[in-house]
Structure 1
Amino acid sequence: MTRQPRIEDVAIAGDVIRLGQFLQLAGLVDTGGEAKEAILEGDVEVNGEVDLRRGRQLRHGDVVTLDGRGARVSA
């Protein structure tokens, strides 16, 4: 049985944010380089699916998970 990550709401200023930027804003990674590496290695999921696009546009309600931690894009 897979343990569900605790999801924290992370507010963004506009309507959209790029995946790489959101990983840093949410504190899931410390640097842009770490974000790029985690995404390219397939360690990042968006709404339950692996996404390999660092520039993916996230919108309010999207959930990003990495290493058992999660964050939801909020207003």
Structure 2
Amino acid sequence: MIELQQFLKIVLNISGGEAKHIIQEGLVMVNGQVETRRSKKLSGDDVVEIEGQKYKVSDFPLK
């Protein structure tokens, strides 16, 4: 499991502040639903969407 903010930092190669802004602006969807909680826990089956780009959590080697 990984938090949404951490996942965005890894996938998009952005800072925590940038990830926070993107999430709080309602620009991130998790499994088709807008998600505004930075600490939302993600599992391997979750799909995160940002500006039309979809990222399946299990496709990324996470630490």
TM-score by length of 2: 0.85
| Uncovered stretches (5+) of structure 2, i.e. residues with no partner | none
Bigger relative contact order, structure 1 or 2, given CA contacts below 8 A and separation 6+? Answer: 1
Deviation at 1:31, TM superposition (A): 1.0
Report the structure, 1 or 2, having the larger helix content.
Answer: 2
* Number of residue-to-residue matches in the alignment: 59
Report the structure, 1 or 2, having the larger strand content.
Answer: 1
Is residue 30 of structure 1 aligned with residue 14 of structure 2?
A: yes
Deviation at 1:30, TM superposition (A): 1.1
TM-score by length of 1: 0.73
Is residue 64 of structure 1 aligned with residue 51 of structure 2?
A: no
Moved segments of 4+, more than 2 Å: none
* Percentage of identical aligned residues: 46
Any residues of structure 2 matched to 1:42-53 within 5 Å, and which?
42-53=26-37
Q: CA RMSD in A?
A: 1.3
